Every structure is written in C-alpha cells, then in structure tokens.
Chain A
Amino acid sequence: MKRLAAALELARRSRSRNGKEAALATAMAAIARDSDDLALATAARLASGRMLAVGDGRALGVGGSLLVDVACAATRYDAETVVACARKTGELAEAFALLVQRTEAAGDRPGLSFQEIAHLTDALAAEPGRAGKRALLEAALARATPLEIKYLCKTLGGEMRIGAQDGVVEGAIARAFGLEVARVRLAAVVVTDVGELAVLARDGALDDARLVVGRPVAFMLATPMESIATPLDAGAYVFEDKIDGVRAQVHRSADGAVSIFARGLDRTTHAFPEIVDALRDAPQALVLDGEIVAVDAEGHPRPFQALQPRLQRKPRQGSPERPDDRDATRVALVAFDLLADASGPLLALPWTERRTRLEALASALGGDTLRVNPTSPLPIDRPLEAAIDEAFRAARGRGHEGLVLKRSDASYDAGRRGQAWIKVKRAHATLDCVVVAAEEGHGRRAGILSDYTFAVWGGPESNDELLVIGKAYSGLRDEEIDTLTRRLEGLVLERRGGVWVVRPDVVLEVAFDGVQRSARHTSGFALRFPRIVRVRDDKRPDEADRLATVEALFEAQVATGHREEAAPAPARSKAKTQVAAAKKKGPRVAQNQLSLFGGGDDDS
C-alpha cells in the first residue's frame, strides 16, 4: 500500500490530469508486477476512493465519530484536539496522518499489504459492533504509515477528493498496461468494479468484459433538450413520460436471485422486497432498467416523497437483504428497457428490438408490480416544437416530470449521455443544485438548518466553480430537514453566526416559476419562488446542473415572452472562485468562503 499511498499523494498534488494518471499508472503497473489479483483489484478500488467494489451490497459502518475515536487512540490526543485539527485541515484523514507523524517511531511503521486491507474490509463488513470495528481499525492502523492512514481514512470516510475520478483511474489502468483508454472505458461501462477492470486489463482480457447478470452496468443517461443543438429527425424518435421515481436497474439471475441497483450503482435490493418477489418467479434471467415509483391503492403514481422512507432504510449488518421489510407504501417498477435476457446481453440491439422483448416478458410475467412505461412515436404531421409541447403537457397532466425522447434504432449506450435519449424538462421544471451554505431557521425551525443556499456549476467540466443561484426555505418535510441537518453538520467548513458554510456535497432538486437575471447571486441569475422538490441522494455534487442549463432556460423564457432580457450586471465577484475552491475544502477555503456572506479576512 505504501507505493499506492505515495502515488495518490503525487496524484493529488499534480495539477494536470496527465500527471495524476501517470502517477497512478506507475504504481498500478508496479503492483501488478509484484502482487496478485487481489492486491491489484484492491489498489484500483482504493485509487478510485472505494474499499468495496461498486455494487457490493455490504456496508462497512465506519463513520466519522468512530474514526475520531481511532485517531485519538492512535495519537494519544483527545477528541477535542483531534476534531480541532480536523477542522483545520478540513478533513480527519489529513489531520490523523499529521498527528501520527509526530508520534514516536512513526518512521518505523511497517505499512499495510493489500491483503491486509482486503481482510480489514471484509472483517469490518462482517463485524456488527462498534467496539469490534474500532478494535479492527486500531489494530490495522497501528501498522500503517502516516501516508497510508491518510488515504485509507479518506477512503473510509468516502472523501478521496484527489481529483482522480473514475475517468482518471481508467486512464491510469490503460497506461499501466499499455492499452488504449477507449477500450478500457468501453469495458468499464459493463465491468463497473474498477478492481475487476484492472485485473482484466492486466490480463489483456478486456474483450471478455460483458454484462453479467447480478453485477450492475452503468446507466444510459439522457441529454437535456436545452443542450441539443442539432435539429432532430422526428421520425426516428419515440417518446415516453419521464417518471418521477428512483432510477433502478433490476437483475434477476437464472437461479432466481434478484438484485436492485440505484443510479449510483449502490445495491438497494433491501428497500424493495415486493419487486424482488415479483421478479423471482420470472421465467428467465433478465436485467431491467426503469423507475421505481410509489403507487396508491388504484395503482396511480404517487409523488416522489412517498418513497423517501423506503430509501432511508439501511441494510441490516451482515445480511443486506431484508425480505420481510414491507410497509404501507406500495411500490411498482415501471420498466422501460431490457438490457439482458436468457439469450445474454442485449445492449447492442436497437431499442425497438429490446422493447419488443421487454413487452413480451412483462406480459408473460403479469401482475401489478412490474409495468412497462407506455411509449408513442413522435407525430410527424406537425412542427416538432408543437408535437413535443403537446406531449409534454399531456405527461405533466398525468403527473409526470416531463418527457424522454428515444431514438428507436439506438443501442443501449451504458454510461453515456448522448443524443439517443433526450429529456424534456422545460423552464417550469427543476434544477439540480448543490448546497453551499445553510442557515438555522427561525421560530419552529430554530436550531435546525432549514434555509439552504445553493449553486450550479459554472463551466463545462465538473472540476470548476460553483455559482450561487438562490436560497430556499420550503419544500421538505420536517423529518427530511432533520436528516439533512445532521448530514450538513458533518459538512460544515465554518460557522459564523447562524450561517454554516458547508462542503458542497448535498444535491437538491429545486423547482421554481422562472429564471431571471440578478446581480444578487454569483451566477448572475435568480430563481423565482424556488422550492425544494427533494434531496437527490442519488446524485453526486458534480452531477448537478450547470450555468449553461440555466442560461438556456432563461433564453427559452425570453424567446417565449415569459421573461425580458433586462439585465443588471451579474455579480460574478471573487466569491465564485472561492466557492469553486470549496470543493477541495479546507480551512483556508472555509475562511475565504465567508466572503460569500460579506465577511472574512484572509491572512493571519
């Protein structure tokens, strides 16, 4: 692990993608040369910030407070000091490593092998008790070097943040084994566990990468209509309602085992036992793509909020599935694609062929829990705009979010966001925004964080700046606010008065009545009557919407006469770069970030 930790440090320090890839590639090549499959797979997972493989249903149950206890024991400082140090560095992992560095014989620590780390991972997942987990961690970390502690704890805390997202790790794998990166990427959409991907790459076996039932593949994504520049060939498209539920990939293997994966490829099987039941008796192996929705007694879809209690369920330790877990909320799977059946993977087939098979399968299965999302061709007898408009209004009338247009001849492009699928949300739909600050509410909501300042990304790449677009108070239920308060408390960078500046991590879907120019926010725009639709736990902050989308929404309003282009100069002040840096978090950032709120002094 020493070699990998050094490479991760080098990658973190490197400002270029090329430098990051090179650092990781060198380490992975060396690990592949000197160690076995398990070591290489573990190293590749760690490099992408994971202890467990994508889709592994187990939970390690290692939270911040447990790590603080472990750090206290290892460094002989008490929690008050450890937490103060963590606040200074912006995260526990870095502070933990710096404190270990000053302990006696820090230089004599032997370091951990990847076998030891793999063993620790399994043991943590199997150990139900906090004390037991603590003992495991203390024993392992007592042997780890400071740099190993830094990167293990970053990974355990789910905060690798070295600017090496999967794309960089894939690039590093390609370099390490002398392969074309495109080939690695192609394999990565079906082999979503980067550990297995690395082993396949080393063995020159990437061509063997294929969808395996029971293992999640990357979801195909839709491009927002606003981002489509080229004219559409209306005759080539069908449309479906865009269902407001939980995107899910449901696998049923030949032996009847059912697994459900959410959009982030996390295993959420335990939350939906009735879907497991409905598919267990399917006549064959299959992989479905669809949305899970809550339904009322008549089978009509209910608002997304009705699903929240299900989603907050945690898998039981040691036994990820909870087949007896039912409640009053009825759910259904609205399937819209079939990725595999008994004949094997269907990803390369055109949509029409997959659709035919999906419909046949669903009608053979029967029942009420599995449905197929209705689809219609786009009418070609009138202007495209008018046709989409009419379909959009009809979908909204049925209580759905909008439309998804699909090219009928397109393959299932796992992990891609292309022109084959186009989502129509429109101006009066929603934006996914990142929370950058929160405030305590007043009156009934005193002491809880109920007012959220949120932002969208400025540029086309994920690694850029967050621009504030507004603030919202309403929309969430009290329980949701409580949950969010606890989560935001763990993300606080700086607290001044009632304003908590938080690390951008929480994504909120925000609805509004319109977009207008505004000098008030750093984005240069403000939302009219913003309200929170839901917390997007399934989205990472870098998946939030971008300024370009807001600009397009604004332009669309101007075009339709809903808004006029009377533009006060946008307030793109210094604050924007400071919020951008917040992604990287840390105390200096924290202090600077305060200038968001008009205060803050830089140097000591």
Chain B
Amino acid sequence: MGHTLGLDLDEAGVCLRALGLWLDPTRPVSAAFVSHAHVTAGALESGRVIASPETLAVAGALQKRPPGKATAWDGVLELPIEPAFGGGTARLSIVPAGHVLGAAQLLVEHPKGRLVYAGDWSGEAGATHPAGVAVACDELVVTTTFALPIFRFEAAATVVAALVDWCQARLSEGVTPLVLAHSPGPAQELVRALSARGLPVSGDEAVCRACAAYEELGVVLGPVGSHGKDARPPAERRAIVAAPSTRAAELRVRGKSAVAYASGWALLDAAVEQKRADAAFVLPDQADFDGVVTMVRATGARRVFATRGDARPFAHLLRGVGLDARALDLPAIDDRATS
C-alpha cells in the first residue's frame, strides 16, 4: 500500500507525490523544498523553490544569481493534496534544523497526521544559527550523514576554540594556517571565532561570498579578507578559511603553510589523508549518531524513514531499539553508460 502523502524516492530524490513536492532534490523538478543553502545547484533551478529567507539569500549569493521562482516564507504555506491521495489541503511550515544559518525542517500537517522532513539536522546552536529542535510528529524523514555509531562528536564550540588556538599557534610560528571547512556553515563559524580572537582572516571566493550574505542578513562575522585564486597574496600573514575541495597549492600561500581539515568527516583517517591535512578537527555541522537517535525519539514519530548515506544500517539500528524504521534507498544508478 502506498504512503498517505505518496512519500517516495526517484532519480531527483525524496518526494511527496501527493503534493508534487521534492525534498532537497538533486536536479530541477516542478517544486522543491530546499532545507539549507548548500544543496545541489540543480534544486534551485526548479520550477518553484520554497525555502527559508536566509537559505534563499545565502544560496542566491553562492550561485551568483537568485533562484528562479522562489518562495521565501516563514509562515504557513498551503498546498493542495492530489485527489488520488484523498484531496484536501496540507499546511506546510518550517522549523529550525540547526546545521547552518537558515537550515529548516519541513512540517507537513495533513488530514491524516503530521510528517516532518528533518533534513540535515543538528541539536547544537552555533554562533551563527539557532539549535535544531525535535518536532512532534507521526512520521519523520531523516537524512543519515553521520548516523552510524562510529560517529561521536564533541561540542562544536569546543572544537572551534581548539581550531582557533591552532591557527593562532601557527601564525605565531610564522606559518600560514589554512583551514578546510564546509561553507556555508562551519567556515563562517570559524571566521567569526577567528575575528573575535583578533586574528587576521581571509576566505577563498566561496567562503567570502557566503560571509557577505551572512553579514547582509545581519549575522556579524567580523572583517574577512578575500584570498581569491587570482588575488595577490596579502603582505600580512593571515589565517585562510577555504572550502574542503580546495587544494592547498591552488591558493598560492606565501611561505610556509599548514593545513587543517575541519569537518565531521575528519573523524575518518582516510578522509584526513585524502585532504593531505597536517591536522584534523572533528568539527561537525550535523548531529552524531546519538544525537540523531535522541532527536528521533523526542519527536515521538510512529514511523521513521531514513534517506541518503547510511539509510539502511541506520534504519536497522532503529529497528533494533524498537522503532518502526525503514530506509528510503538511493535509486539505482546505471553506471555502465558512463564507464
């Protein structure tokens, strides 16, 4: 039997067929809910984009152009339910998801109950965003980025403080600290913390664009210089914050430099080695395994759907503690055509 709202997974991602709505799709669709600003660019090219005002502002700044037909809203949005699914109206609203500035969960209230799409979620407040909350619901859709018991994170604030110490120590040795951190999110937290310590900081192009968007939204980060690929390196030694995909060599740092990788992924040896990082800081922007399980329990959801990454083992673990959980697996990808 199908799901009440037609919860399903296709090549674009998770969708609610009854509403004609995709949740963080990976490609343009007719209508997309975008939970946070660093989603795949394709989602923003959808016929209709609905997201929080902050998400739209930051995503727009990152894409260098505003999304097409976008709805920034923080009230209640009503969408008709397809007659095939019983008709009527669904009331959509958003709730903070933690994670990054503007990150939102989607609450769908419909005639048969409440469904929440938690997206990338963190219960910890940052300096640039509020904490995510657990929303009471009947059904919960969670993404499973760090949802395995190997992932146990310290409080982000503690890690940020350690990172700032590390940067300060490098600068005092005459070494340029280069921190690879996801942006928007941890990168801006870090820029803010470095500035607050009075350390000179620059960002790469993507980090700077997101910082500017944050500032425009009234989130004060402090002065941040631009360390573009084409820009001349400043005479003064500065901490540099760059996206994790950056290769140190591309940044043309003058003199000695040391690379730190700051991410939840830095918990994994292979991830750190791949970044060729000198130091690793496990700086998460999402809840760890225990955090997600706690949130799931707190929602009181009768049914849990896990999607992305480790959906299957996570659903298996939830069933092990007595929850009705299942995995929404990634659709099959046919690689033969491209190999």
The answer to whether B148 and A81 touch across the interface, beta carbons within 8 angstroms, is: yes
A388 within 8 A of B: no
A-B interface contact total, Cβ < 8 Å:
105
Chain A, residue nearest B334 (CB): A497
Residues of B within 8 A of A601 (CB): 26, 40
Whether A81 and B149, one on each chain, are in contact in the complex, defined by CB atoms closer than 8 angstroms, is yes
Q: Which of A12, A77, A592, A599 contacts B149 (CB 8 A)?
A: A77
Q: Does B335 contact A (CB under 8 A)?
A: yes
Which A553-604 residues sit within 8 Å CB-CB of chain B?
Answer: 581, 584-589, 592, 594, 597-599, 601-604
In the bound assembly, the distance between CA atoms of A581 and B268 in angstroms comes to 14
Q: A81 to B338, Cβ gap below 8 A?
A: no
Are the CB atoms of A497 and B335 closer together than 8 Å?
yes
With contacts A88-B150, A497-B334 taken as known, whether A588 is within 8 angstroms of B145 at the C-beta atoms is no
Q: Which among B48-56, B110-118, B269-277 touches the partner chain?
A: B269-277
Interface membership of chain A positions 62-106, coded 1 if the CB is closer than 8 angstroms to chain B and 0 otherwise? 000000000000000110110011001110001100110110000
A102-B149, A102-B152, A604-B120 as given contacts; A586 in contact with B269, CB under 8 Å: yes
Residues in B with CB closer than 8 Å to A599 are 333, 335, 338
- What is the CA–CA distance of A81 and B318 in the complex, to the nearest angstrom? 11
Take A84-B313, A102-B152, A497-B332 as given contacts and tell me if A586 and B339 are in contact as well, using a CB distance cutoff of 8 Å: no
Q: What residue in chain A is nearest B148 (Cβ atoms)?
A: A85
A585-B334 in contact given A77-B149, A80-B316, A602-B245 (Cβ < 8 Å): no
Question: A581 to B182, Cβ gap below 8 A?
Answer: no
Determine the distance from Cα of A85 to Cα of B286 in the docked complex, in whole angstroms.
18
Q: How far is the CA of A499 from the CA of B333 in the complex (A)?
A: 11
Considering only CB atoms, which chain B residue lies closest to A94 in the complex?
Answer: B269
A12's closest neighbor in chain B, by CB? B269
Q: Is B127 an interface residue (CB 8 A)?
A: no
Is the CB of A393 closer than 8 A to any CB of chain B? Answer: no
Known: A81-B316, A497-B336. A98 touches B270 (CB 8 A): no
B274 touches A589 (CB 8 A): yes
A84 x B270 contact (CB < 8 A): no
Q: Are B182 and A586 in contact (CB under 8 A)?
A: no
Q: How far is the CB of A339 from chain B (nearest CB, A)?
A: 39
Shortest CB-to-CB span from A9 to chain B, Å, is 9
How far apart sit A558 and B272, CA to CA, in the bound complex (Å)?
A: 43
Q: In the bound complex, do residue A88 and residue B335 qualify as a contact, i.e. CB atoms below 8 Å apart?
A: no
Bound-complex Cα distance A89 to B308 (A)? 17
Tell me whether A498 is interfacial, beta carbon within 8 Å.
yes
Contact A597 B339 (CB under 8 A): yes
Q: Are B336 and A499 in contact (CB under 8 A)?
A: yes
Chain B residues whose C-beta falls within 8 Å of the C-beta of A588 in the assembled complex:
265, 268, 270-271, 274
Query: Does B66 sit within 8 A of A, measured CB to CB?
Result: no
- For B313, the closest partner residue in chain A by CB is A84
- Interchain CA distance A599-B331 in the complex, whole Å: 14
Contact of A585 with B270 in the complex, beta carbons under 8 Å: yes
Binary interface encoding of chain A residues 369-401 relative to chain B, with 1 for a CB under 8 A from any of its CBs, else 0: 000000000000000000000000000000000
Q: Are the CB atoms of A581 and B338 closer together than 8 Å?
A: no
Would you call A598 and B339 a contact (CB within 8 A)? Answer: yes
How far, in Å, is B213 (CB) from chain A's closest CB? Answer: 18
Q: How large is the interface on A (under 10, 10 to 19, 20 to 34, 35 or more residues)?
A: 35 or more
Determine the chain A residues whose CB is within 8 A of the CB of B320 once the complex forms.
Answer: 78
Residue pair B339, A592 in contact (C-beta under 8 Å): no
In the complex, what distance in Å separates the CA atom of A88 from the CA atom of B271?
10
A53 to B320, CA, bound (A): 43
Which of chain A's residues has its CB closest to B278's CB? A15
Q: How far is the CB of A121 from chain B (nearest CB, A)?
A: 25
Contacts of B267 in A (CB 8 A): 98
Is there a chain A Cβ closer than 8 Å to B317's Cβ? yes
Given contacts A90-B270, A497-B332, A586-B269, contact A603 B244 (CB under 8 A): yes
Does residue A109 face the partner (Cβ distance < 8 Å to B)?
no
Interface pair A498/B336, CB less than 8 Å apart: yes
B310 within 8 A of A: yes
- Identify which of residues 510-537 in chain A touch chain B, using a CB-to-CB cut-off of 8 Å: none
A585 to chain B, nearest CB (A): 6
Q: Which of B26, B273, B308 contacts A581 (CB 8 A)?
A: B273
Q: Does B303 sit at the interface, judged by CB under 8 A? A: no
Which of the listed residues A85, A88, A95 has the most CB atoms from chain B within 10 Å of its own CB?
A88
Q: Which of B40, B145, B149, B316 has the largest count of A CB atoms less than 10 A from its CB?
A: B149
Return B42 CB to nearest CB of chain A, in Å: 11
User: Across the interface, which residues of A come within 8 angstroms of B150, CB to CB?
Assistant: 85, 88-89, 95, 98-99
From residue 311 to 336 of chain B, which have CB atoms closer than 8 A to chain A?
312-313, 316-317, 320, 332-336
List A88-139 residues whose CB lies under 8 Å from chain B.
88-90, 94-95, 98-99, 101-102
List, in ascending order, chain B residues with CB within 8 A of A12's CB: 269
CB-based contact A81/B265 at 8 Å: no
Closest B residue, CB atoms, query A88 = B148
Which of B150, B244, B272 counts the most A-chain CB atoms under 10 A from its CB? B150
B120 contact set on A, CB distance < 8 A: 604
**Is the CB of B309 closer than 8 A to any CB of chain A?**
yes
> Using an 8 Å CB-CB cutoff, how does the interface string of A486-512 with B read, 1 for contact, 0 for none?
000000000011110000000000000
Is A337 part of the contact surface with B, judged by Cβ < 8 Å? no
Partner of B268, one of A101, A439, A587: A587
Interface centre among B40, B270, B271, B272 (most CB of A within 10 A): B270
Closest CB-CB distance, B124 to chain A, in whole Å?
17
Shortest Cβ gap from B40 to chain A (Å): 8
**Residue contact A15 to B276, C-beta cutoff 8 Å:** yes
CA A604 to CA B309, docked complex, whole Å: 9
A604 neighbours in B (Cβ, 8 Å)? 120, 145, 286, 308-309
Are B268 and A496 interface neighbours, CB within 8 A? no
Bound together, the chains give a CA A229 to CA B120 distance in angstroms of 58
- Identify A88's interface contact among B38, B152, B268, B316, CB under 8 A: B268
Neighbour of A586 across the interface among B270, B278, B308, B336, CB < 8 A:
B270
The 0/1 profile, CB within 8 Å of A marked 1, for residues 247-290 of chain B is 00000000000000000010111111110101010000010000
Which B residues are in CB contact (< 8 Å) with A439? 339
Contacts of B40 in A (CB 8 A): 601
* Cα–Cα distance between A539 and B38 once the two chains are bound (Å): 45
**Residues of A close to B278: CB separation below 8 A:** 15
CB distance from B243 to the nearest CB of A (A): 9
In the complex, the answer to whether A496 meets B333 with C-beta atoms within 8 Å is: yes
Which partner residue on chain A sits nearest B150 by CB separation?
Answer: A98
Contact status of A101 and B310, CB under 8 A, knowing A581-B273, A586-B273 = no
C-alpha spacing A604/B271, complex, angstroms: 13
Is B336 in contact with A584, judged by CB distance below 8 angstroms? Answer: no
Tell me the residues in window 133-164 of chain B with beta carbons closer than 8 Å to chain A beta carbons.
Answer: 145, 148-150, 152
- Please give 15 more A-B residue pairs, beta carbons under 8 A apart, in addition to A84-B148, A584-B270: A80-B313, A88-B310, A98-B149, A98-B150, A98-B267, A499-B336, A581-B273, A586-B274, A594-B335, A599-B333, A599-B335, A602-B245, A603-B182, A603-B245, A604-B145
17 example contacts (A-B, Cβ-Cβ < 8 A) are as follows A13-B280, A80-B316, A89-B268, A89-B269, A98-B152, A98-B267, A99-B149, A99-B150, A102-B149, A496-B335, A499-B339, A584-B274, A586-B271, A586-B273, A588-B271, A602-B244, A604-B309
Q: Which A positions have Cβ atoms within 8 angstroms of B?
A: 12-13, 15, 77-78, 80-81, 84-85, 88-90, 94-95, 98-99, 101-102, 439, 496-499, 581, 584-589, 592, 594, 597-599, 601-604
Top 7 nearest A-B pairs (CB, nearest first) are A586-B270, A598-B338, A84-B313, A497-B335, A98-B150, A588-B271, A597-B339
